[in-house]
A = this chain, B = another copy of it.
Amino acid sequence: MAEESPESFKVTPWAVEGKVDYERLRVLFGTSDLDEPLRERLRGLLGSPLHPLLERGIYFSHRDLPRVLTEYEKGNPFFLYSGRGPSGDLHLGHLLPFELCAYLQRRLNVDMWIQITDDEKFLFKRDLPLEESRRLGFENLADILAPGFDPKRTHVLFDTIAIRTLYPLALEVARRVTFSTARAVFGFTNENNIGSIFYTALQSAPAFLPSKQAGRPVPCLIPCGIDQDPHFRVTRDVAEPLGYPKPALLHNELLPSLLGEGKMSSSTDATDSAIFLTDKPEQVRRKVSKAFTGGRTTVEEQRRLGAVPEVCSVWSLWRSRFAPDPKEFAEITRTCRSGELLCGECKSRLVPRITKFLEEHHTAREKAKEWIQGTLVDGS
């Protein structure tokens, strides 16, 4: 993927550059709008209000969501599938799909499949040893499981561990995808290594695995960052020729960088762009206090004109998970816009929320470690 809009942002599974215009990206990618009628349908199924990630449009785009909802209503439940390429530390943005999945699993009692792509990270990083990618994968997995999955309904495909289960499906996919296609979708060149070219077949495999195991079409719903859409375009293209149902997708916006441009990033030269799940209270305080906001240059001006929440990295945190109460969130937004709430006060209120969340998350991830082993496909 190397589609560029006139606004010159760039979104691929491996890099996001510039200020992303999500509505424009949705049009470029050709996905559907997660609009109010569809949210209303979701409320009927999940209860009202929806999870903030759905209610507030952070999940803003989809492919074929109505189809899997109809199947669900007919008594043919979908399974959820999302995944992660291991990295040093997860930040809040990485957690979004898993928070949504845990919520959907709790509400609908559906299965969750998580892929940990230690092979992917190995192939795309020249100097990462495979053992280190695996170790990071297990660390990340504890974070991923922390949002409250049901151990009995959660299955983890750790690529180098579950490869015997995944490989036959990856072969089916790979036989259907030419280098031309992979190059067009991912922007590969002749200098990409042959493992990175093949890898997308591995990321398709989990979408088909439950159907293969059940011997009948099992619908699949994939919540993921919009940057991962190219992989699943390949998955969707090959699904029907292979006799599997096309997976549906739910796309989230990427949490904006605290530094004011692009998205939260875990690259080492931009650690202040993101709140990491391992950040200490002091780090949280420091990062939030210098975070980019939608405020004005002077207090006087802000009182008079109000601030702009839509461009504010602090507001995006309230929006995503730190003001789950709709009334509180509405009040924050209103007073921000009116100039009543100044950025300093807003930030002071947010910091303890984040700190508390990270504390609880830490407890939950340590608890999750106790049942990780049981979720691993082929893990015994």
Contacts and interface: CB of A to CB of B under 8 A. Distances in A.
Interface string A159-189: 0110110011011101111111011000011
A190 B178 contact: yes
A118 to B, nearest CB: 9
Interface string A343-380: 00000000000000000000000000000000000100
A49 interface: no
Nearest to A176: B193
Size bracket of the A interface: 35 or more
Q: Determine the main DSSP class of A at the interface with B.
A: helix
Given A160-B164, A160-B171, A177-B194, 20 more contacts: A119-B167, A119-B171, A126-B175, A130-B172, A160-B167, A160-B168, A164-B164, A174-B194, A174-B195, A174-B198, A176-B193, A178-B190, A179-B192, A179-B193, A182-B194, A183-B190, A194-B198, A194-B201, A195-B198, A195-B201
Interface of A: 119, 122-123, 126, 130, 160-161, 163-164, 167-168, 170-172, 174-180, 182-183, 188-198, 200-201, 378
27 contacts: A119-B167, A119-B171, A122-B171, A123-B171, A123-B174, A126-B175, A130-B172, A160-B167, A163-B163, A163-B164, A163-B167, A167-B167, A170-B195, A171-B195, A174-B193, A177-B195, A178-B190, A178-B191, A178-B192, A178-B193, A179-B190, A179-B197, A180-B190, A183-B190, A194-B198, A194-B200, A195-B198
